């Protein structure tokens, strides 16, 4: 089951559960006789508003579900954790609903004569029962599909043959994890006496109730030096690391090489002390996993970050439209060429998108190929110097933010030409692509300087990785305020 299809089923399932819960609660409160309506309120009048109230309530819950991370990819998450999150989300939302809908200090506005706490608890119990049941059914189907091999993720193991066999056997014991181990990559060379391919066999659980065991061959796919090639060649989605706790240098090398792709990185607990602070432990079905380099933003912060992106971008585009129109006219009057300059950049998960800027350079300034910017760059037009100094050339990127290609705050996106060069020279560089690129970032808020050479980029990458490690909604707000202050002071490089 793909992430898009999973999200579709979750939204449909929640729509069914939440609306059914509201309808059931409505008739329980109005028609059952268990609860008492305030004198003068006719049940038919309340029933007429049922469709509209159900729709508004569903939209209310969608906001809560997004903020609490209930639509994040479920892949390899403990089922109990999701149930607890659902109960907490419904609990917080129901308290708010009780205050808004049933709590009446004046004792004149509410349609119900019952204690709002009783109404809230009843509604929470009904909604929780239905939402948990529907989600559990979806997850049950999803697990069964994974156990039958549908929706699994191609995975490889890094380690010598003994450690790889041990980890592969443990993974094969839990097919619902969704790891399809297609081979292993070893830090040392192996060669058989008859030059036959190096491989080992593990027992894969299958069949109804996972009672049957079938052998599965796990071949050697290459050495750790070939890791990037193996990942690309076989379309690997997950890299499971099974190195010893004394293999620190090998681990660092593997993480650096794997980070050049978008494959996920998991490691056995023995090495947690080596990557402490860069990992997050998970235990599913009794099988411990440690996720290396996770995105540390909480679900509600991620939703708040996206909401802030959209709201601020819309406000700036609308309120600043006279300034942006005047800027476009000035560009057209002072130099020939298009008003908006677009260029392909590498975004989140390595996907390409077109970034937009007000044109600040003369036309055909890069006919000889991509070049680094420089102080007092002769390719920059007179009006372009002002735009760069004031950072107004970045304004059209607000459209990228609205589209979802970028965020207001994040690592600056780079061109593919430079990305390929930087991945070879800077370990962990590709981790920047785990998050949306930004219009501004920690580096831009602290050091207002264009990248003029590879050393400048290396310095910027340090700040980018520091930002990713400490991502938070509060940090984004601080960066935006600091960036605004720098713009007002006219700090920038022309």
In a domain? residue 494: no
- Do 310 and 285 belong to one domain? no
- Do 393 and 484 belong to one domain? yes
- Do 312 and 347 belong to one domain? yes
348 exposure class (CB count in 10 Å sphere: 0-12, 13-18, 19+): buried
Domain count, the chain: 3
Residue 40: φ, ψ to 5°: 100, -10
Residue 253 structural domain: 153-292
- For 20-56, give one letter per residue: b (16+ CB within 10 A) or e: bbbeebbeebbeeeebebeeeeeeeebeeeeeeebee
In a domain? residue 279: yes
Which residues lie below 8 Å from residue 94, measured CB to CB, with a gap of 6+? 120, 121, 123, 124, 127
In a domain? residue 217: yes
In a domain? residue 399: yes
Average pLDDT for the chain = 80
Predicted local distance difference test score (pLDDT) of residue 283: 46
- CATH number of the domain residue 214 falls in: 3.40.50.720
Nearest to 232 by CA among 206, 256, 260, 195: 260
Predicted local distance difference test score (pLDDT) of residue 259: 73
In a domain? residue 493: no
Distance CA 472, CA 236 (A): 30
- Does residue 40 carry a pLDDT above 90? no
Predicted local distance difference test score (pLDDT) of residue 276: 47
- Do 274 and 185 belong to one domain? yes
- Do 125 and 187 belong to one domain? no
Summarize the confidence of residues 251-271 as an average pLDDT: 75
In a domain? residue 467: yes
In a domain? residue 321: yes
- Does residue 370 carry a pLDDT above 50? yes
In a domain? residue 75: yes
- Do 143 and 157 belong to one domain? no
- Do 320 and 440 belong to one domain? yes
Predicted local distance difference test score (pLDDT) of residue 81: 79
pTM over 0.85: no
pLDDT in tens, 74-104: 654 567 778 898 999 999 999 988 877 766 5
Residue 467 near residue 475 (C-beta atoms within 8 A): yes
Nearest to 340 by CA among 321, 357, 317: 357
- Do 50 and 141 belong to one domain? yes
DSSP string for 309-337: HHHHHHHHHHHTHHHHHHHHHHHHHHSSS
User: Which DSSP helix (H) or strand (E) runs through 482?
Assistant: helix 473-488
- Do 81 and 171 belong to one domain? no
Highest mean pLDDT pick, 271-285, 291-305, 390-404: 390-404
147, 162, 182: which is the final residue of a domain?
Answer: 147
- Do 191 and 139 belong to one domain? no
User: Which DSSP helix (H) or strand (E) runs through 392?
Assistant: none
147, 176, 196: which is the final residue of a domain?
Answer: 147
pLDDT in tens, 211-223: 667 788 899 999 9
- Do 202 and 261 belong to one domain? yes
- Do 254 and 341 belong to one domain? no
Distance CA 368, CA 387 (A): 24
Predicted local distance difference test score (pLDDT) of residue 47: 63
Summarize the confidence of residues 239-257 as an average pLDDT: 79
237, 267, 292: which is the final residue of a domain?
Answer: 292
Residue 241 near residue 267 (C-beta atoms within 8 A): yes
pLDDT in tens, 417-472: 888 888 777 767 877 888 899 999 888 888 766 666 677 777 888 888 888 878 88
């Amino acid at each position: 089951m793909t992430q898009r299809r999973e999200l579709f089923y979750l939204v449909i399932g929640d729509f069914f559960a939440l609306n059914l819960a509201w309808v059931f609660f409505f008739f329980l409160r109005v028609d059952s006789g268990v609860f008492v309506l305030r004198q003068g309120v006719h049940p038919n009048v309340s029933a007429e508003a049922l469709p509209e109230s159900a729709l508004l309530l569903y939209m209310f819950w969608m906001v809560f579900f997004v903020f609490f991370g209930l639509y994040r990819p479920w892949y390899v998450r403990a089922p109990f954790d999701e149930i607890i999150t659902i109960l907490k989300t419904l609990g917080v939302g129901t308290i708010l609903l009780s205050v808004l809908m049933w709590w009446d200090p004046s004792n004149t506005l509410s349609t119900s004569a019952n204690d709002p706490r009783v109404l809230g608890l009843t509604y929470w119990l009904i909604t929780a029962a239905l939402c948990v049941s529907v989600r559990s059914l979806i997850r049950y189907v999803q697990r069964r599909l994974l156990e039958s091999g549908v929706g699994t993720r191609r995975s490889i193991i890094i380690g010598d043959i003994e450690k790889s066999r041990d980890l592969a056997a443990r993974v094969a014991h839990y097919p619902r994890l969704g790891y399809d181990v297609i081979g292993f990559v070893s830090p040392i060379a192996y060669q058989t006496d008859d030059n036959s391919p190096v491989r080992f066999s593990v027992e894969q659980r299958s069949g109804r109730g996972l009672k049957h065991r079938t052998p599965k061959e796990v071949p050697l796919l290459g050495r750790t030096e070939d890791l990037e090639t193996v990942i690309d060649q076989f379309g690997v989605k997950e890299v499971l690391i099974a190195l010893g706790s004394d293999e620190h240098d090998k681990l660092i090398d593997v993480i650096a090489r794997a980070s050049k792709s978008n494959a996920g990185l998991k490691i056995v607990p023995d090495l947690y002390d080596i990557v402490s602070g860069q990992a997050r432990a998970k235990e599913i079905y009794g099988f411990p996993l440690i996720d290396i380099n996770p995105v540390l933003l909480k679900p509600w912060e991620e939703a708040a970050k996206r909401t802030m992106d959209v709201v601020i971008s819309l406000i700036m585009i609308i309120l600043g439209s006279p300034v942006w129109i005047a800027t476009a006219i000035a560009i057209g009057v002072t130099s020939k060429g298009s008003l908006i300059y677009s260029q392909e950049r590498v975004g989140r998960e390595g996907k390409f998108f077109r970034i937009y800027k007000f044109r600040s350079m003369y036309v055909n300034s890069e006919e000889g190929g991509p070049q680094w910017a420089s102080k007092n760059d002769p390719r920059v037009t007179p009006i372009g110097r002002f735009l760069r100094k004031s950072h107004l050339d970045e304004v059209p990127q607000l459209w990228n933010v609205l589209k979802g290609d970028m965020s207001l705050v994040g690592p600056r996106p780079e061109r593919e030409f430079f990305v390929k060069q930087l991945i070879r020279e800077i370990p962990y560089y590709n981790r920047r692509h785990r998050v949306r690129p930004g219009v501004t970032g920690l580096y831009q808020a602290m050091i207002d300087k264009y990248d003029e050479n590879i050393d400048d980029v290396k310095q910027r990458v340090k700040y980018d990785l520091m930002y990713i490690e400490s991502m938070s909604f509060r940090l984004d707000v601080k960066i935006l305020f600091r960036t605004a202050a720098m713009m007002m002071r006219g700090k920038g490089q022309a």
